[in-house]
Structure 1
Amino acid sequence: MILARFHRMQPDMQPPPYEGRIPVILVMGNDDGGLQANYHGTTVLTQMLRGMWPGLHAAMEEARMWKVVPIRPNCQEDVDAAFAAYDSGAYKIAGFFHEIVMMNYGGRLLTPEFLTHAHQRCQASDAVTVVDEIQSCMWAPQLFMFREYGLTPSCVAIGKGFPGGEYPASRILFSPALDVMPQFGALVTNGQEELAALAYLVTMEWAQANAASTAALGQRFETALRAVAADFPDVITAVDGWRHMTTMRFADLNRATAFTRALNARGLDISAQTYKADCPPVVLTKLPLTADAAMIDFVVHAMREGLEKNKCE
């Protein structure tokens, strides 16, 4: 839908508003300005947004078919520099893709100030904003985390967490202004997924009825993990993320993996993000929305025991 603002989907369609200009996609990058922190989807085009298919990506940029520009986390200067360089002449900022909790990059939390600034720049320039809430969505009391920030994105991606684990219900929601696809192109041939739709209704009803409790419990978990980190400063160097999705950055990879092994032995499914060379060793958490105070206290106690064991070895 973003590219449809630059190219015609069918020969008989009216010229799109930015026909003839080069679309520039802004994505969240890592601290060094690389693409590897980004994650959105599994198609070839979206894979290129996170640095895959480098030869094809380079060929497309060389042919001036598009350009992908990474933005470092919480760096407003990068946003302003991108608009200054690529929102005039042959180029046009086409869209901005981002998570709010960067679960593909150490659970980094993007700040309200940064995202408000970026969205304002996009709105002023008629650029599409795409919020990836595959990880967050239902874990926010208002069903979408972007509402906690007061944002109004053009598109939002919601994942299997929203409909209680029903994969067929993963969706991309978008504003009517972007609905330019011809009817035939939007047809569904695999049924209407009634069970997934029912799962949506059930989980939405439960989440809204319990929003105050789950928000307080999520904050209880984050506060407890920050206290744990303060007690083990030589092991945990930082805490990031948000509520149920709080993450801990470890001083080194060996300590992170030893910690997760200790928790795995207790029956807790937790892992360290070790597959990115440019990402610090981070232990990711994402408690189920149904976790009560007793479960949270059990998990935090197990973490303390794991860290004590880690310190003694």
Structure 2
Amino acid sequence: MHRKTLRWAAPAAVGLVFVLAGCTAADGSVDSAEDSPLTEYFSAFYGGEMSEEEQQAQFETQNKQREELVAQCMQDEGFEYIPAPSTMTFSSGTEWKPEDREFVAQWGYGAVEYPDADEQPEPEQMTPDPNADYVMALSESEQAAYYEALYGPGPTEEEMSEDGSYEYNWETSGCNGWADHEINGDDPLQSDEFADLMDAVTKFYESSATLPAMVDLDREWAACMDAAGYPGFASQADAQNSIYEELNGVYENSTETGPDQATMDEIHEREVELALADLDCRKETDYRAKYQKAQFAAEEQFIADHKTELEAMKAAAEQARP
């Protein structure tokens, strides 16, 4: 089967979403992550200013163009490929209300059970892959060549980090990557021009928990949790993380059918109790409002220190968007 060399590209979509979702303002209202000072500079990468309907329409248009390009590329590689329809839906679903006691009493942190879980499509309801029959008719070696043409050869052991992640190289990501790059162009966040800025952003968020105001706030919250019978948490995030870490362990040690329902029910019961105590201590310490005030002040200072680079990055993102 004829093979040719392609320069392939990775997707340029950015999923940069910062914390602070659902922060309670001093007046009792709930501010969203979109209010974050730094969010203004990154929303251009993912269309944050568009409505769900606008995002859905843009995605469907781009997906149609992308799938046609993938089909062209796969044909050049010597394979058949039928463009697949869009299956992604932009919908916020049930409003997430982590500061509402009734909501937390039902869902906890949303680790075991969460809103709209019953609305996830069953396998038989999902759109079938129009290329499944063609791929199944190929020999084992032809299937391997098909998937390498479609997705690229995959990372080597040297390219993989300990946690299984790797740097996504647009030049080695198959026809999917090439098609994405044809539509989206180069990702400004991956360019050398903004490498130092992105390193600074990463270090900023990694160190934000050590800000004096944050440390004092977590100490106050931890004392409240200790008094409520939940000692051992150094920061507010540790409470939620403890549930997810336990769940990870359960799934890792479960059979192919997954963990038994009794185990999940028991974890969910403890999750809700912990989340309610966490909520009470957040309210007692005015945690969300104080956290947001400290975080936003730190972001404003970061912006002041990197104003020129951030403006250049935002302009590059707006220019690169289709």
Shorter-chain TM-score bucket reads under 0.3
Q: Which has the higher contact order (CA 8 A, sep 6+)?
A: 2
TM-score by length of 2: 0.26
Larger strand proportion of the pair: 1
Larger helix proportion of the pair: 2
TM-score by length of 1: 0.27
